[in-house]
Structure 1
Amino acid sequence: MARLILFNKPYGVLSQFTPEGRWQGLRDHLSVPGVYAAGRLDADSEGLLILTDDGPLQSRIADPRHKLPKTYWAQVEGVPNEADLEPLRRGVDLGDFVTRPAALRLIDAPAGLWPRTPPIRFRASIPTAWIELTINEGKNRQVRRMTAKIGFPTLRLIRAAVGEWTLGALQPGEWMEQHV
């Protein structure tokens, strides 16, 4: 039976056990031997990181060929309208690749959202909005690059779900184990 860890990765933590420079590693939050991250989140992104001790399961979760949907909550600078979001629904050219179409919608700030440490920059003259975005790929800094491409840079990015697994009520640094 495989072990599966659902971890709410805080801001400033790498998706590896070893810390580097100013960033913490997973070992600063998890003391579960023999598990490895199935995919990654940048240090400046938060939310669901899945770890497992099962190599084939790790590959199935992380490999874009399996097209597991990944859902993110992105707080963006500015307030996009539906027409602004339409390019993301069709796919956008980021220079090195064209994204697959994304499912997305404007949302209110997610319920139960924890404060980020450090907080995002606040500018009274520039409003922000939240977008829920689901993609079936996950290239380096993809969501941030997508929102910037349409003129709404991401200020805060939280992964809420990967496939059937969700963040649920886990707070930053909390984790729960499942057996699959």
Structure 2
Amino acid sequence: MAGVRQFDEEKTLERALEVFWRKGLGAASMLDLAQATGVQRGSLYNAYQSKESLFLRVFDRYKARMLADIRASLEQPSVDTALRNFFDFTIGSMTWGSPTRGCLTTKTAVDEHADLDAVRGALQGMLEDMEHLLIQRLEAEDARARLTLTPAEAARLIVTFTRGIVVMERIYQDIERLRHTSGLILQVLLKPV
């Protein structure tokens, strides 16, 4: 029937996410996506118009999940625990799998073949939303009393730091190193009790 998708869109988008996460936007081909999803290239083009449009659709789903998980990690009674949970979640997300999958946002940001305004806008939106969630948590009374920076400055530093630990994970592949370094950033951001 014309206009009706003849494939399971949920499964297709999940499988496409894995391809983009593993190979990156630039290196993933429509043939890779067709093989991984089991959907013919023509059907993928009909449904999503281009590889970049499919990526943006997949990235929206990824972003929604990541932000929900980040929000949950920050919902702790103490700022120390909230930020430790946030860093544990971030490190766990990038080091999951074998080989580890890294960070889809950062992988896409450094992909010279993914330099499109719509993609850059999606990445900026993800990082800005992440920063906003951190600001909300850091504006709580318990956090304000301990911060060495304003909530907005601390949130921006944390988001920037997370991009750096993604790179360090790729180089060292040492979870304990990442955890130790995230503990150091907490010492910089929070006054002792």
TM over 0.5: no
Larger radius of gyration: 2
Tell which has more relative contact order, 1 or 2 (C-alpha 8 A, sep 6+): 1
Q: As a proportion of its length, which structure holds more strand?
A: 1
Q: As a proportion of its length, which structure holds more helix?
A: 2
TM-score for the superposition, normalised by structure 1: 0.28
TM-score for the superposition, normalised by structure 2: 0.27
